[in-house]
Amino acid sequence: MIKKFAGTAVALVATFALTACGGGTEAATTDSAASTAPAGPFEYKDALGKEIKLDKAPSVVVAQSSVAAALLDAGFEVKGAYGELKPDASGKLSYQAGSLDLSKITVVGSTYGEFDTEKYALMNPELLVDYTFDAKSLWYVPAAQSEKILGLAPAAAVPGNYETTDAAIETFVDLAGKLGADTGSAALATSKTEYTAALAAIGEAAKASGLKVAIMSPSTDSLYVADPLYLPEGNTLKKAGLDVVSPENPKKEVFAQLSWEQATQFNDADVILVDARTYEAGKADLAKVATWANLPAVKAGQVYNWYAAAPYSYKSYAQIYAELAGQLKAAKKL
C-alpha cells in the first residue's frame, strides 16, 4: 500500500491538473427528488483549495470506501462506493470499509486501480468524495480515467492527513452535516462518548504501566516504522498519555523504511502495533526473520493490530481504542 500510493500519486498529479477546473465548480443538474438533502445550497471548500457550490445538497454521492464508511457513521449514506470493497473468503469486508453494507450501495470499484466509469456515469452522480494525500490528486481515482470521472460530477477532496483522529473525525462529521445528515443524533453522541472513554482508558493503562509502544508495517524486505508525529492516531495516543516512539533520525514523513538490521533499535519497545492491512498475510514469513522474531515485544506476544486507514469515525475509533486499551492493560512492561 505504502509504495503503491507513492508510485501512483505522481502519475495522478498531471491528469488532475487538467480536469480540476472543468469538473469542480459547475453545478450538477439533477431531477431526482433529494429526500435526505436539505433544501439549501451545498458549499464546501475542499482539500485541493477548490470551492464546490451546488444549488442543493447532492443526493447521489459516490465515495472512496474509507470515506464512505466515515460518512455513514456520521449519519450520511452514500449511493455508491469504490476502494477496498472485496469481501474475503468468509464474505466479510475489510475493517477499512467500516459498517458499509454492499447490498445498499453500488460498487464501482473493489480494489486499488479499479473504477468502473460507465457504471459510475449510469448512476447520474452528483458528487464524488475521496482523500487526497498530495494536495493534487484523488487517492483511489485511477490516473488514466480521472479526466472522464471528474467530468461526470464535481469531486470533493478530503485531506488524507490530520494532526489527530479527533480532527479527522470532525472533518467527516462536518461534511456529513453539509450533505444533510443529522449530526446531532443520539447515535453519534453515544459513539463520541465511547470514543472519549476508550482514550481515557488508554491513558490510564499507559500511566499505570509506562509501556513503550512502536507502530510498524513490517514486510520481509524492509521494516517500515511509523512516526507517530505524522500519524493522526499516533498524536492522539501520545496526547492520551501513551509513550509512542519515533524512529531514530526521523524523516518528517509517516514511514521510515529501515533495514531489518536496524530492527534491534526497537529492543526497548514493550508493545508493537502492526499494520492490520498486511500483518496476517505475512506473519508466517516474518516469524523466520531473526531480528523480528527476537524483538522482546514479539517474543512476549505483545504484538497487536494497528488499524491503518480505518474510517475516521467516532464509532470505528471507539472500537479500535477500546480494543487497544484492553490489550495495553493486559500487556507487561518488559
Partner 1 sequence: MRPSHLRRLGVFAGAVVVLGVVVVLSLMVGRQSISPVDVIHALMPSATGDNADIVRGLRLERTIIGLVAGAAFGGAGALMQALTRNPLADPGLLGVNAGAAAAVVTGFAVFGVTNGFAQTWLGLAGAAIASVAVYLLGSGSRSAATPARLALAGAALTAVLFSYITALSMRDQDSYNEMRFWVVGSVVNRGMDRLLLALPLILAGIVIALLVTRALNAIAFGDDTSKALGLGLGKARVATAIAITLLCGAATSVAGPFVFVGLAVPHVARILVGADQRRVVPLSMLLAAAFMVLCDTLGRIVSSGAEIEAGAVTAILGAPLFIALVRRRTLTATS
Q: Which stretches of the chain bind partner 1, using CB under 8 A?
A: 1, 3-4, 84, 86, 94, 110-114, 219-222, 251, 257-262, 264, 267, 277-278, 281-282, 285, 288-291, 294
Would you say 1 or 122 has its CB closer to partner 1? 1
Contact 60, 165 (CB under 8 A): no
Task: CB nearer to partner 1: give 34 or 112.
Answer: 112
Shortest Å distance, C-beta 292 to partner 1: 9
Identify which of residues 244 and 295 has a Cβ nearer to partner 1 in the complex: 295
117 versus 278: smaller Cβ distance to partner 1: 278
CB closer to partner 1 out of 47 and 258? 258
**Shortest CB 88 distance to partner 1, Å:** 9
Residue closer to partner 1 by CB (options 196, 257) is 257
Give CA–CA dist 284/293, Å, rounded.
Answer: 11
How far is residue 43's CA from residue 144's CA, in Å, rounded to a whole number? 28
Closest approach, Cβ 224 to partner 1, in A, equals 9
Number of neighbours of residue 248 by Cβ within 10 angstroms: 11
Are the C-beta atoms of residues 292 and 232 closer than 8 Å to each other?
no
Q: How far apart are CA 23 and CA 47, in angstroms?
A: 15
**Strands, E assignment, the chain:** 42-45, 51-54, 61-64, 80-82, 106-109, 127-132, 155-159, 212-218, 223-226, 243-244, 255-258, 271-275, 303-306
Angle between helices 186-209 and 314-330 (to 10 degrees): 20
Q: Specify whether the CB–CB gap between 104 and 77 falls below 8 A.
A: yes
Residue 22 C-beta: closest distance to partner 1, Å: 28
> Which of helix, strand or coil describes residue 277?
coil
CB of 253 to partner 1, least distance (A): 10
Q: Which three cell numbers stand for residue 138?
A: 484523488
Our CB check for partner 1 shows the closer of 110 and 209 to be 110
> Least distance to partner 1 from the beta carbon of 8, Å?
11
